[in-house]
Structure 1
């Protein structure tokens, strides 16, 4: 998935930084930026999953009420 790929890239960047790569500052900056965007994306996905779960629960309850109404 996209988040997993971002984490692999971040890990690789940190490995380059640990090996004193000539572009150390740029690598660290890009890793931090990628981690920030990855965290934002993860939080947004969690928020939407919670919203969808609540919507599904509401939909299920409405269907149950509707079913009970047709049975009576």
Structure 2
């Protein structure tokens, strides 16, 4: 259902990265990441990053044993 690039974006979001961090990691613009997330949200039927991560964990896109939330940024 998701492309390989979309799965990369989901994994990085699950790691707690911001759009800016994801963009830097993948060598893309922040606007491109926003577009990816809009499409991903639409494809999987979620409306927030939290719902997306929960979706990914329950579907096995992100392995729950490997997934540990990043510390909160203040």
Task: Bin the TM-score by the shorter chain.
Answer: 0.3 to 0.5
Q: Which has the higher contact order (CA 8 A, sep 6+)?
A: 2
Bigger Rg, structure 1 or 2: 1
TM-score (norm 2): 0.33
TM-score (norm 1): 0.34
